[in-house]
Homo-oligomer: A and B are copies of this chain.
Amino acid sequence: MADALAGVYSALGDTTRRGIVERLAHGELTVAEIRRPLRISAPAVSKHLRVLEHAGLVQRRRNGRHQVCVLQERPLIEAGRWIEAQTAFWSSSLDALAGYLSEEQQ
């Protein structure tokens, strides 16, 4: 993917998928376990997982006839870093503005 962050953020943009990520953060789950509390068809779950996997947020492993899904922290950390970078710029430009204004006053 050209823009990895785009994949991560738009994956997290769906409430169902963000719910899946929240549950996977507490530990591995099979596809069936992921599906159980959700009121959607198995193929719908499969599609969501494909999106999460494509964003790098989830990895799957076969265990007999089950697919075990594991959350990958890396993309989450990178997404968090981008956000931190923006808020850092935001406050530093506020500081710059404050400095500018106090100079103006003198």
- Closest Cβ–Cβ distance, residue A34 to chain B (whole Å): 15
Closest B residue to A79 by beta carbon equals B83
- Closest Cβ–Cβ distance, residue A8 to chain B (whole Å): 8
Give complex CA distance A89, B73 in Å: 10
Stretch of A22-30, A37-45, A61-69 on the interface side = A22-30
Give complex CA distance A14, B11 in Å: 11
**Oligomer copy total:** 2
- Closest Cβ–Cβ distance, residue A101 to chain B (whole Å): 13
B residues near A46, Cβ cutoff 8 Å: none
B residues near A12, Cβ cutoff 8 Å: 5, 9, 13
Chain A residues proximal to chain B, CB less than 8 Å: 3, 5-6, 9-15, 18, 21-22, 25-27, 71, 73, 76-77, 79-80, 82-87, 89-91, 93, 96-97
Given contacts A3-B15, A13-B13, A79-B83, 14 further A-B contacts (CB under 8 A): A5-B12, A6-B13, A6-B14, A9-B10, A11-B13, A18-B82, A22-B86, A25-B85, A25-B87, A25-B89, A26-B89, A73-B87, A73-B90, A83-B83
